[in-house]
A and B are shown apart, each in its own frame.
Chain A
Amino acid sequence: DTAVSQTPKYLVTQMGNDKSIKCEQNLGHDTMYWYKQDSKKFLKIMFSYNNKELIINETVPNRFSPKSPDKAHLNLHINSLELGDSAVYFCASSPLGTSKNIQYFGAGTRLSVL
C-alpha cells in the first residue's frame, strides 16, 4: 500500500507542451506539498495546501498551477514547459493537529523537457 503516490514516475516532453502530475495520499493527512528538486538535489518548496486551501505559494512562475480537488489529492499542472523545468518533482503530505510536521514523500516524478 503506497502512502503517497505520484504519477507518472517519468515524464519526457517537448518545450512548450502542457503537462500534469498527479498525487494522492491515503494517510488521511490534511496538508499536501509540491517540491522541486534540481540536479544538485536542492529541494525547493513550491506549494502547500491544507484541506484544499492554498497556504504556501512560493515564488513560482504562474505557468505552474496546483489543484486540490479534495484533501487526499494535489495535482500540479505546468503550462508552456521550458528547459529549466527539468527536475524531479516530489509530492509530500503531513498530518495536521501535531506539532511535529513530519512529511511523507512520494517517489518523485522525473520531468525531462527537451
Chain B
Amino acid sequence: SQQGEEDPQALSIQEGENATMNCSYKTSINNLQWYRQNSGRGLVHLILIRSNEREKHSGRLRVTLDTSKKSSSLLITASRAADTASYFCATDNAGNNRKLIWGLGTSLAVNP
C-alpha cells in the first residue's frame, strides 16, 4: 500500500526553538492533514490543508503544501515541552473510499 513519508524520523530540540517536519506523498490529493499522537494516546487532528492551498496557520502551527513536489511541511514555532509527541501526516486522495494514507511519523522531543 502507498505510504507517505515523514522526515526526520526523530527530532530533538530545546524549548523555544522551532520544529520543522516534512511529509512527502505519491498521488494526487484532496487534502493533507497533520495529526499529533502523545505517548499512549490516540491521534488528534491538528490542521488540514486543501490541495488548492499553499499555506495554512493555526496558532503556533504553520503548514505548507507544494503539490508540484508532492510535499508538505509542518512548522511548530516557539516549541514547548508539551509539544513532545509523534506527528503524522495523512493524505486524503482524490477518488478514494474515505481512506487516509498515513505517513510513518516524526517523533519530536522538546527538552525543557
Residues of A within 8 A of B (CB): 4, 31, 40-45, 48, 50, 55-56, 58, 90, 92, 94, 99-108
Contacts and interface: CB of A to CB of B under 8 A. Distances in A.
A105 B1 contact: no
Number of chain B interface residues as a range: 20 to 34
Interface of B: 1, 30-31, 33, 37, 40-45, 48, 86, 88, 90, 92, 97-100, 102, 104-105, 107
Contact of A41 (B1, B99, B104): B104
B84 to A, nearest CB: 14
Contact of A105 (B33, B44, B86): B44
A101 B98 contact: yes
Specify the main secondary structure of chain B where it touches its partner.
strand
Contacts of B33: 102
